[in-house]
């Protein structure tokens, strides 16, 4: 199925979750805030939040520094 991730089109398998997408992109779940179709997804719900065809996902990664 086709989704949009941070403005780019991407194919993902049916049944994919936010957690799976974050892992596929090589990101750490604890440093990412996820938004699906204008709704912020709670971190504890990443593994149970299914992605649907046409969803718009925004992933924002926190980077620490000094």
For residue 7, pLDDT over 70 is answered with yes
Predicted model pTM: 0.90
- How much is the pLDDT for 50? 98
Q: What is the pLDDT of residue 46?
A: 98
- Give me the DSSP letters along 11-59: E--TT-BHHHHHHHTT--GGGEEEEETTEEEPGGGGGG-B--TT-EEEE
Query: What is the distance between the alpha carbons of residues 66 and 50, in angstroms, rounded to a whole number?
Result: 36
Q: Where are the domains of the chain?
A: 2-61
User: 66 pLDDT exceeds 80?
Assistant: no
Residue 62: the pLDDT is 80
Model pLDDT for residues 10-61, shown as the tens digit of each residue: 999 999 999 999 999 999 999 999 999 999 999 999 999 999 999 999 999 8
CATH 3.10.20.30: does it fit domain 2-61? yes
């Amino acid at each position: 199925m086709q989704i949009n991730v941070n403005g780019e089109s991407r194919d993902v398998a049916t049944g994919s979750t936010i957690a799976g997408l974050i892992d596929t992109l090589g990101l750490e779940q604890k440093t990412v805030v996820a938004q699906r179709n204008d709704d912020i997804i709670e971190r504890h719900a990443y593994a149970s939040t299914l992605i649907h065809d046409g969803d718009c996902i925004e992933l924002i990664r926190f980077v620490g520094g000094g």
